[in-house]
């Protein structure tokens, strides 16, 4: 049924810390790596060694340049994958019921065996979180590694999404947003976590933490007092050492 | 209602089978050497993840590491030994059997060895087995061996070793858990890739300040709290400005300087004397110091002296000297180092430099870190606590790859020492086996290369004066083909790989017979002036023979350089081989632990390829190299794994430190253990021995550390390590250039040596900038290493090439506005050496005088089994075409090597250019080269990895 | 948005077909001779079916298309499928009644006609429901689809009708009126669309990244250097001049051309069969109109890629 569940038991999702992401693409590639060999069709690449290589990826990092009014421009690396929205428009538009949001944890998934590859869900998503597999022609999307987070074949510590496990800068956090005391919820509260395009009324579960304020290039400030007669100071300082 | 509880069927298997087996080995997708878990399913890689227990990456893994599957799947893997059939560079080969290949290589090499071993130039690129390859070359007897350090970061490494017996990356790291302020210079992405990211995230979590000094504000620089958008090549001046401010304010750690440095040593101050500027020494050779209370000049070894740091002092024998510190203080007190005077060149406002200096001082002296841990220093003095100055630094190629890089790196090290942060809590920390000062390092060997005999010692080392250079009897002619350890580059501790082909082609100092290379893409991105190098490799002399007659090359993949080889020895992939990440080589230790690691074949090759190291041992045995055959002439080592287990460099010391002794009960020192590799495999592929807490800091002067290092076989005796603020070996070269010592440099070199070999860290403008007309070439052009592509290694990787399939030239917004350039426009970038056509990308977060692009994305058409029209070839480009290995001609016709005059480090970040909108807005970058043929079949179509596991 | 030929063909052709079904059901062809009425019914039904079949061409898995009938409670695409089948069934029933001469043809015709209009409405709602594409996300979108469906369907059926009147108007004049209504709706849609942009909805690169408060945000590097599904599907770019030219063509063919032919038929009292020319001109115009409908629509994903 492509209606959204009336309520979800948990709201599992990610916090992405834009203050720390160095744009290394580690999460991007491990996501591809885990998911291409996991349940469902592989994440294919067409013309892999050719003129126009292109493939299905579930997580991509954009790089934005920001020019503040009175400070030098800065760069923000911006990873983006499915936000597992509370009001996921991709689910309700699906004509076949292939797209669904799980009531137990809020994860939005695609049942590939039912997907007709119409692409409407990708159109309905404001964020570009869904990509059609170029070979299998079914819609692929972030599963929040649903086949890891409950996987009894993995050690308990590894039952997190692959991107979270690998991020070298610790810019990605996984948790339950329905619990206001969970680490992810507190992180969002403490750091002013925000939604992407709230005006789309999708109510994303994933949150982003903003970059912290920078010291301005060229900013002056308190300065070191100069010691008059350095070498004279030196002997006094040495005497203090004994 | 819960879907599962409601009895609704699960639509997805949330607990699928993952893998049949996990094999722990070491990554080789870059030089970081992280531990990886290779999950195997049905005999194939299911996926690769970071090893949580591994000291380097602690579970995380970068984009390259995770793309290892596609490296293994690459169609560019070589399949069988190849013998050239066409002309060099065409890529026409025929496959031959290993026996034929090895017999041919042996014939070529034996001829050289029996006649004139130096006619072999053996250079090994991004080799991670230099303790084997170097040892092999030593046994062969050629003086011509090195890896790629001269092209990479020798300035950083050598300046550090000469100054304090360490450097960054393999030598040491920031004390991430305690530092209060961290400054990172010239790093976009680095060798130490995952550890730096882990460290930065710790600093963020701890709320500590990160300052990034880099012309480009991407990557680590993007997340730093403060960005210093410096003009390339001026980092030294910026650092000396900070030192100027700190000295003026008296914000230095005098106690630290007195204890651990040569600050008090007296420097001869007799301008006419032949040892003017050298240390005054007693009869035993100990430097002299003056007591500031009594004025008496005594040996620095004397106890109970209160050393003077200033004043002119006269020795009992009547010599006059001044303490190093006074020379230093006077030098940097000069207004030309003031932030106000340097801001024009560095582009950094004076107020910012002054504030940063203050922040360094505040962090170092007002927030000192104290660890309640007693320890004893080398003088036997017991300290109740470990007190640290919590400011730390990291720097790499950005400051290193300049012709003033050695002095710049020295300046940075000087700054760390002045604030007392080297191996102090919160500062820079040595990684075992470091510290290892010059006195504990080998000297370079190569002078007495006789036919058929091994060299008496290792090729690479640390000269302490002109007497240690590798020169022919005339005192001028270099012994080595790359002119390392000659007047051109006296302290070239890593050799000059980038000069080998051009010197061999010019037959200067001599021609060679066999060029033997491993994992070095010299015909493309690993050379300055790629076009010229391709020509040098294909040039023939009057007799119709190639000027470089024979070229043996080993690589795992069909790189650009393969096409130029006469004989190709196909290597395995990193997942199919044995390797030792050895303490004898380039270790992976962490400050708190001695570590080494292995690679082992987690997959069997499906092709007729062999690990290069095993091939090398085989060749060694065929050539009857002494250490590689038994008395009866049979091979001593069956293959590399056998060597790793059984070889002993010194008694009880082998390539691996873990599980030594017959039953694996010993660490560091011990007999060979036949089960050693299995023990490594069982332990996750690595070995770790923790440094005792009392030995954890001040290792340069810590008795516990020294004893521990001896016990674990890192060293055989105590090493005294006095930090060299004043670097006497440089002064020795100056004296030779002044005509006051022997041997003397040729006249052409004298002024340059006098100018650049300042024994105190100095700054001079990069050579290319000095020579190129500022009006004609007003801009700098540099590359940044992308985090998701390691040189050309990832270009045939189906995943990584989607991330970086081509590159654009990032142009500062002000330059774009001036020239009317916009995103996607085609522009010509012109240097004194060449011209390239590129696509423009406008950018604001960059130094206003600096163009930049990602490193090594451009590929030669047809290489790496990519389509001839691949974006890498048609829209990608290299800056290398703009860079020459030689500087523009001087008035006297001489062309200097485009290198640091001290170490020979390739100065590829010195590049000066201008940019113009292209007259025709084309479709392709320029230059383009004819498509090379692939020696292995190309693969068309799609990749859908893991289809068999689809459910 | 990427203007996929299969979808353009579908919306234009089955729009005309369903329009035709409506008019046949409404009795516009009642006066026609049996072969002509049969031809009109065959054409209208055939175009509706051909369009629907064409739409399955852009599916990744057409063999699973039957699954699309299941989610009519939430999905407009599913509703469209269900309604189309219902309409075609009713229309078939209507044809059967007509051929066999059974009574009730009137009710079956109107039923098929109403179902045809709701099908077109559902098709339009597939686009109109998308907040992600503000240009489409307006009530005029279904009005435009219905307008074009009715006017093109009218021309289709009228071409087979005897010289009669419709609500007192000559058919050709009625057709001109319908054309004018449809294109006026389109013009209003365009006008209204000017204030239906991502910007007016509060979406820009600043809200897309959440970084707008820090300063002016601009894309420096795309995630990958090549194109991907999203850029091909949703980040279609069209030059303003090019668009203006195509719009001219659409109006010239679909309104002016088709309208002039109708006027000529009326003024010269030509047989209604000549209205087929007007029909073809309008369909040609609608192809350009529909191409622009997609190509000019800006999806919010483009904020991450421009």
pLDDT at A221 over 80: no
Rounded to whole angstroms, the Cα distance separating B292 from B297 reads: 9
Q: Is C165 exposed, middle or buried (0-12, 13-18, 19+ CB in 10 A)?
A: exposed
CB atoms closer than 10 angstroms to residue B190 = 27
Whether residues A37 and B949 touch (CB distance < 8 A) is answered with yes
pLDDT digits (tens, 9 = 90+) for B677-686: 999 999 999 9
Chain B residues whose beta carbon lies within 8 Å of the beta carbon of residue C226: 802, 805, 871
Chain B residues whose beta carbon lies within 8 Å of the beta carbon of residue A42: 944-947, 950
Confidence band (pLDDT; 50, 70, 90) for B850?
Answer: very high
- Among chain C residues, the shortest Cα distance to B802 is held by C224
pLDDT at B537 over 80: yes
**pLDDT score, position C16:** 98
The predicted complex's ipTM stands at 0.96
- Among chain C residues, the shortest Cα distance to A4 is held by C74
Confidence band (pLDDT; 50, 70, 90) for A239?
Answer: confident
Chain C residues whose beta carbon lies within 8 Å of the beta carbon of residue B871: 225-226
Helix H or strand E segment including A190:
helix A183-191
pLDDT digits (tens, 9 = 90+) for A93-139: 999 999 999 999 999 999 999 999 999 999 999 999 999 999 999 99
Please check whether residue A44 is in contact with residue B808, taking contact to mean a CB–CB distance below 8 angstroms: no
Mean pLDDT computed over every residue of chain A:
94
What share of chain B in percent tops pLDDT 90?
A: 91
Please check whether residue B70 is in contact with residue B36, taking contact to mean a CB–CB distance below 8 angstroms: no
State the Cα torsion B686-B691-B692-B698 to the nearest 10°. -170
Chosen for mutation from C210, C228, C298 (greatest number of chain A CBs closer than 10 Å) is C210
**pLDDT score, position B449:** 61
- Among chain C residues, the shortest Cα distance to A99 is held by C71
Radius of gyration of chain B (CA): 28
pLDDT at B2 over 70: no
Closest Cβ–Cβ partner in B61, B69, B940 for A26: B61
**Residue C37, min C-alpha distance to chain B (Å):** 51
- Among chain C residues, the shortest Cα distance to B842 is held by C220
Whether residues A231 and B225 touch (CB distance < 8 A) is answered with no
Interface of C with A in 68-97 (CB under 8 A): 68-71, 73-78, 81
Per DSSP, the three-state class of B906 is strand
When pLDDT is averaged across residues B855-879 and rounded to a whole number, the result is 96
List of residues 6+ apart from C34 with CB closer than 8 A: none
When pLDDT is averaged across residues B392-417 and rounded to a whole number, the result is 96
pLDDT digits (tens, 9 = 90+) for C2-60: 999 999 999 999 999 999 999 999 999 888 899 999 999 999 999 999 999 999 988 99
| Token pair in block for residue B851 | 């163009």
Chosen for mutation from C225, C229, C231, C237 (greatest number of chain B CBs closer than 10 Å) is C225
Q: Would an 8 Å CB–CB cutoff place C224 in contact with chain B?
A: yes
Confidence band (pLDDT; 50, 70, 90) for A179?
Answer: very high
Confidence band (pLDDT; 50, 70, 90) for A242?
Answer: low
CB atoms closer than 10 angstroms to residue C198 = 23
- Among chain B residues, the shortest Cα distance to A134 is held by B942
Q: B890-918: buried (b, 16+ CB within 10 Å) or exposed (e) per residue? A: eeeeeebbbbbbbbbbbbbbbbbbbbeeb
**Residue B798, min C-alpha distance to chain C (Å):** 12
Chosen for mutation from A126, A202, A207 (greatest number of chain C CBs closer than 10 Å) is A126
pLDDT digits (tens, 9 = 90+) for B794-847: 889 999 999 999 999 999 999 999 999 999 999 999 999 999 999 999 999 999
Whether residues A68 and C214 touch (CB distance < 8 A) is answered with yes
**pLDDT score, position B4:** 38
Per DSSP, the three-state class of A144 is coil
Closest Cβ–Cβ partner in B802, B807, B841 for C224: B802
List of residues 6+ apart from C62 with CB closer than 8 A: A116, C56
Tokens 């230790």 found at: B589
Please check whether residue C204 is in contact with residue C198, taking contact to mean a CB–CB distance below 8 angstroms: yes
Confidence band (pLDDT; 50, 70, 90) for C165?
Answer: confident
Q: Would an 8 Å CB–CB cutoff place C226 in contact with chain B?
A: yes
Terminal-residue alpha carbon distance, chain A: 83
Whether residues C225 and B804 touch (CB distance < 8 A) is answered with yes
Per DSSP bridges, beta strands B35-41 and B686-690 are: unpaired
Rounded (5°) CA angle C130-C136-C139: 95
Mean pLDDT computed over every residue of chain B:
95
Interface of C with A in 215-234 (CB under 8 A): 215-224, 226-230, 233-234
pLDDT digits (tens, 9 = 90+) for C99-110: 888 877 889 999
In C147-249, the DSSP E strands lie at: 165-166, 169-170, 216-221
Chosen for mutation from C202, C229, C236 (greatest number of chain A CBs closer than 10 Å) is C229
Chain C residues whose beta carbon lies within 8 Å of the beta carbon of residue B839: none
One DSSP character per residue, C83-138 reads HHHHHHHHHHHHHHHHHHT-S-HHHHHHHHHHHHHHHHHHHHHHHHT-TTSTTT-S
pLDDT at B6 over 60: no
**pLDDT score, position C167:** 82
Whether residues C225 and B841 touch (CB distance < 8 A) is answered with no
pLDDT digits (tens, 9 = 90+) for B693-720: 999 999 999 999 999 999 999 999 999 9
CB atoms closer than 10 angstroms to residue B666 = 18
- Among chain B residues, the shortest Cα distance to A41 is held by B950
Closest Cβ–Cβ partner in A102, A154, A214 for B225: A214
Chain A residues whose beta carbon lies within 8 Å of the beta carbon of residue C59: 116-118
**pLDDT score, position A226:** 73
DSSP class of residue B240? H
DSSP class of residue C291? H
pLDDT at A228 over 70: no
Closest Cβ–Cβ partner in B4, B49, B358 for A30: B49
pLDDT at A186 over 50: yes
Least trusted range by pLDDT, from B144-158, B164-178, C5-19 = B144-158
Rounded to whole angstroms, the Cα distance separating B162 from B185 reads: 20
Chain B residues whose beta carbon lies within 8 Å of the beta carbon of residue C215: none
Chosen for mutation from B222, B788, B803 (greatest number of chain C CBs closer than 10 Å) is B803
- Among chain B residues, the shortest Cα distance to C222 is held by B803
CB atoms closer than 10 angstroms to residue B943 = 24
Rounded to whole angstroms, the Cα distance separating B394 from B592 reads: 18
Whether residues A73 and B845 touch (CB distance < 8 A) is answered with yes
Q: Is B4 exposed, middle or buried (0-12, 13-18, 19+ CB in 10 A)?
A: middle
pLDDT digits (tens, 9 = 90+) for C181-240: 999 999 999 999 999 999 999 999 999 999 999 999 999 999 999 999 999 999 988 888
pLDDT digits (tens, 9 = 90+) for B741-754: 999 999 999 999 99
- What pTM was estimated for this model as a whole? 0.96
- Among chain C residues, the shortest Cα distance to B875 is held by C225
pLDDT digits (tens, 9 = 90+) for C94-149: 999 998 888 778 899 999 999 999 999 999 999 999 999 999 999 999 999 999 99
Rounded to whole angstroms, the Cα distance separating B57 from B530 reads: 35
Q: B700-738: buried (b, 16+ CB within 10 Å) or exposed (e) per residue? A: bbbbbbbebbbebbbeeeebebbbbbbbbbbbbbbbbbe
**pLDDT score, position B3:** 36
**Residue C152, min C-alpha distance to chain A (Å):** 27
**Residue B945, min C-alpha distance to chain A (Å):** 6
When pLDDT is averaged across residues A199-215 and rounded to a whole number, the result is 96
pLDDT digits (tens, 9 = 90+) for B896-905: 889 999 999 9
Chain C residues whose beta carbon lies within 8 Å of the beta carbon of residue B806: 225
What share of chain A in percent tops pLDDT 90?
A: 85
pLDDT at A151 over 80: yes
Confidence band (pLDDT; 50, 70, 90) for B154?
Answer: very high
Chosen for mutation from C4, C6, C7, C61 (greatest number of chain A CBs closer than 10 Å) is C61
**pLDDT score, position B448:** 67
**pLDDT score, position B492:** 96
pLDDT at A241 over 80: no
pLDDT at A2 over 70: no
């Amino acid at each position: 049924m492509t209606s959204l569940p009336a309520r979800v038991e948990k709201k599992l999702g990610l916090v992405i810390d834009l203050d720390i992401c160095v744009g290394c693409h580690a999460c991007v590639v491990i996501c591809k790596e885990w998911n291409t060999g996991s349940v469902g069709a592989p994440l294919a690449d067409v013309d892999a060694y050719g003129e126009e290589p292109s493939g299905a990826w579930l997580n991509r990092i954009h790089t934005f340049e920001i020019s503040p009014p009175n400070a030098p421009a800065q760069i923000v690396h911006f990873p983006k994958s499915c936000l597992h929205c509370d009001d996921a428009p991709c689910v309700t538009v699906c004509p076949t019921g292939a797209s669904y949001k799980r009531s137990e944890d809020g994860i939005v998934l695609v049942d590939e065996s039912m997907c007709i590859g119409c692409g409407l869900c990708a159109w309905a998503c404001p964020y570009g979180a869904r990509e059609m597999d170029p070979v299998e022609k079914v819609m692929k999307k972030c599963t929040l590694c649903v086949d890891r987070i409950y996987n009894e074949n993995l050690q308990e510590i590894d039952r997190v999404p692959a991107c979270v496990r690998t991020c070298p800068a610790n810019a990605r956090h996984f948790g339950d947003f329905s619990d206001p005391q969970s680490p992810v919820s507190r992180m969002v509260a403490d750091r002013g976590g925000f939604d992407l395009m709230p005006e789309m009324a999708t109510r994303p579960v994933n949150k982003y933490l903003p970059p912290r304020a920078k010291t301005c290039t060229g900013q002056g400030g308190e300065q070191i007092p100069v010691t008059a007669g350095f070498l004279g100071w030196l002997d006094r300082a040495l005497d203090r050492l004994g | 209602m819960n879907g599962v509880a409601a009895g609704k069927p699960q639509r997805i298997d949330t607990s699928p089978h993952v893998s049949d087996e996990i094999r722990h080995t070491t990554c080789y997708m870059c030089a970081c050497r992280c531990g990886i878990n290779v999950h195997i399913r049905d005999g194939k890689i299911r996926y690769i993840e970071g090893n949580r227990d591994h000291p380097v990456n602690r579970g995380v893994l970068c984009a390259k590491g995770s793309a290892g599957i596609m490296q293994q799947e690459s169609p560019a893997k070589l399949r069988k030994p190849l013998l050239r059939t066409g002309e060099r560079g065409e890529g026409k080969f025929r496959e031959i059997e290993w026996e034929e290949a090895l017999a041919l290589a042996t014939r070529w090499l034996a001829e050289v060895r029996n006649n004139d071993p130096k006619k072999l130039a053996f250079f090994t690129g991004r080799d991670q087995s230099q303790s084997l390859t170097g040892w092999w070359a030593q046994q062969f007897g050629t003086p011509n061996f090195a890896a790629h350090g001269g092209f990479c970061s020798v300035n950083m490494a050598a300046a550090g070793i000469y100054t304090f017996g360490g450097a960054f990356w393999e030598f040491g790291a920031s004390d991430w858990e305690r530092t209060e302020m961290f400054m990172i210079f010239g790093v976009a992405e680095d060798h130490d890739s995952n550890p730096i990211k882990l460290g930065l995230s710790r600093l963020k979590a701890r709320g500590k300040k990160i300052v990034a000094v880099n012309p480009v504000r991407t990557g680590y620089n993007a997340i730093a709290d403060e960005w210093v958008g410096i003009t390339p090549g001026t980092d030294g001046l910026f650092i000396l400005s900070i030192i100027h401010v700190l000295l003026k304010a008296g914000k230095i750690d005098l106690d630290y300087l007195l204890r651990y440095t040569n600050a008090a040593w007296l420097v001869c101050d007799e301008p006419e004397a032949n040892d003017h500027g050298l240390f005054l020494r007693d009869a035993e050779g100990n430097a002299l110091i003056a007591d500031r209370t009594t004025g008496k000049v005594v040996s620095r070894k004397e106890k109970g002296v209160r050393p003077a740091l200033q004043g002119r002092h006269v020795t009992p024998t009547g010599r006059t000297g001044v303490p190093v510190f006074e020379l230093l203080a006077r030098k940097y007190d000069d207004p030309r180092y003031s932030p106000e005077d340097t801001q024009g060149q560095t582009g950094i406002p004076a107020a910012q430099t002054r504030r940063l200096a203050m922040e360094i001082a505040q962090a170092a002296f007002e927030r000192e870190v104290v660890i309640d841990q007693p320890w004893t220093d080398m003088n036997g003095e017991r300290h109740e606590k470990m007190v640290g100055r919590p400011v730390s630094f990291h720097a790499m190629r950005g400051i290193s790859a300049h012709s003033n890089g050695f002095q710049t790196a020295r300046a940075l090290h000087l700054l760390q020492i002045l604030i007392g942060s080297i191996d102090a809590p919160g500062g820079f920390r040595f990684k075992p086996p470091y510290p290892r000062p010059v006195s504990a390092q080998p000297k370079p060997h190569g002078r007495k290369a006789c036919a058929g005999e091994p060299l008496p010692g290792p090729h690479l080392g640390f000269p302490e004066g002109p007497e240690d250079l590798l020169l022919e009897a005339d005192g001028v002619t270099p012994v080595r083909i790359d002119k390392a350890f000659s007047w051109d580059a006296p302290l070239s501790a890593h050799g000059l790989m980038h000069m080998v082909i051009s010197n061999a082609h010019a037959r200067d100092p001599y021609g060679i017979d066999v060029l033997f290379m491993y994992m070095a893409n010299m015909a493309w991105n690993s050379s300055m002036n790629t076009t010229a190098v391709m020509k040098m490799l294909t040039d023939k002399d009057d007799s119709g023979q190639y000027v470089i007659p024979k070229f043996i090359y080993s690589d795992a993949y069909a790189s650009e350089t393969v096409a130029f080889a006469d004989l190709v020895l196909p290597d395995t992939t990193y997942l199919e081989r044995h390797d030792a990440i050895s303490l004898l080589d380039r270790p992976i230790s962490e400050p708190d632990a001695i570590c080494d690691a292995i690679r082992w074949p987690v997959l069997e090759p499906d092709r007729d390829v062999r690990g290069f190291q095993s091939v090398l041992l085989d060749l060694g045995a065929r050539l009857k190299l002494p250490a590689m055959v038994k008395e009866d002439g049979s091979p001593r080592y069956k293959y590399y794994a056998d060597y790793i287990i059984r070889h002993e460099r010194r008694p009880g010391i082998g390539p691996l430190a873990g599980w030594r002794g017959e039953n694996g009960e010993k660490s560091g020192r011990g007999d060979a253990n036949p089960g050693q590799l299995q023990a490594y495999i069982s332990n996750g592929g690595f070995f770790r021995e923790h440094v005792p807490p009392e030995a954890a800091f001040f290792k340069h002067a810590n008795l516990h550390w020294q004893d521990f290092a001896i016990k674990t076989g890192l060293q055989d005796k105590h090493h005294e390590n006095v930090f060299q603020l004043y670097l006497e070996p440089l002064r020795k070269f100056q004296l030779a250039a002044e005509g006051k010592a022997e041997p003397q440099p040729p006249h052409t070199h004298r002024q340059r040596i006098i100018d650049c070999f300042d024994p105190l860290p100095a700054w001079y403008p990069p050579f290319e900038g000095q020579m190129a007309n500022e009006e004609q070439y007003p801009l700098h052009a540099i590359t940044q290493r992308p985090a998701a592509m390691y040189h050309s290694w990832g270009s045939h990787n189906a995943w990584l090439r989607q991330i970086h399939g081509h590159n654009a030239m990032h142009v500062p917004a002000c330059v774009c506005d001036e020239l009317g350039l916009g995103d996607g426009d085609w522009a010509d970038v012109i240097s004194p050496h060449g011209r390239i056509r590129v696509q423009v990308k406008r950018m604001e977060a960059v130094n206003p005088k600096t163009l930049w692009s990602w490193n090594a994305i451009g590929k030669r058409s047809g290489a790496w089994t990519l389509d001839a029209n691949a974006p890498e070839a048609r829209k990608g480009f290299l800056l290398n075409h703009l860079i020459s290995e030689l500087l523009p001609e001087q008035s006297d016709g001489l062309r200097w090597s485009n290198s640091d005059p001290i170490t020979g480090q390739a100065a590829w970040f010195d590049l000066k250019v201008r940019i113009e909108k292209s007259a025709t807005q084309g479709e392709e970058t320029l230059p383009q080269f004819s498509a090379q043929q692939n020696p292995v079949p190309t693969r068309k179509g799609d990749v859908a990895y893991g289809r068999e596991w689809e459910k | 948005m990427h203007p996929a030929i299969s979808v353009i063909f579908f919306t234009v052709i089955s729009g005309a077909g369903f329009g035709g079904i409506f008019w046949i059901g409404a009795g516009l062809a009642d006066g026609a001779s049996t072969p002509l009425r049969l031809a009109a019914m065959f054409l209208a039904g055939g175009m509706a079916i051909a369009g629907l079949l064409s739409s399955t061409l852009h599916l990744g898995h057409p063999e699973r298309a039957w699954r699309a009938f299941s989610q009519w409670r939430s999905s407009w695409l599913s509703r469209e499928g269900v309604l189309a089948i219902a309409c075609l069934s009713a229309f078939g029933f209507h044809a059967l009644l007509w051929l066999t001469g059974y009574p009730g043809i009137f009710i079956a015709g109107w039923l098929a006609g109403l179902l045809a209009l709701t099908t077109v409405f559902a098709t339009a709602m597939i686009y109109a429901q998308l907040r992600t594409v503000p240009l489409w996300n307006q009530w005029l979108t279904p009005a435009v689809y219905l307008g074009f469906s009715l006017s093109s369907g009218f021309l289709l059926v009228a071409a087979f009708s005897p010289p009669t009147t419709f609500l007192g108007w000559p058919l050709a004049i009625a057709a001109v009126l319908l054309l004018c209504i449809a294109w006026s709706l389109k013009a209003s849609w365009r006008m209204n669309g000017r204030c239906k942009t991502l910007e007016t909805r509060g979406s820009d690169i600043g809200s897309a990244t959440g970084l707008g408060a820090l300063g002016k945000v601009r894309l420096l590097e795309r995630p990958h250097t090549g194109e991907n599904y999203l850029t091909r599907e949703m980040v279609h770019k069209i030059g303003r001049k090019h668009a203006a030219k195509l719009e001219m063509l659409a109006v010239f063919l679909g309104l002016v051309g088709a309208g002039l032919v109708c006027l000529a038929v009326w003024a010269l009292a030509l047989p209604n069969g000549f209205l087929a020319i007007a029909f073809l001109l309008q369909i040609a115009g609608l192809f350009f109109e529909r191409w622009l409908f997609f190509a000019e629509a800006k999806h919010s994903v483009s904020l991450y890629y421009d």
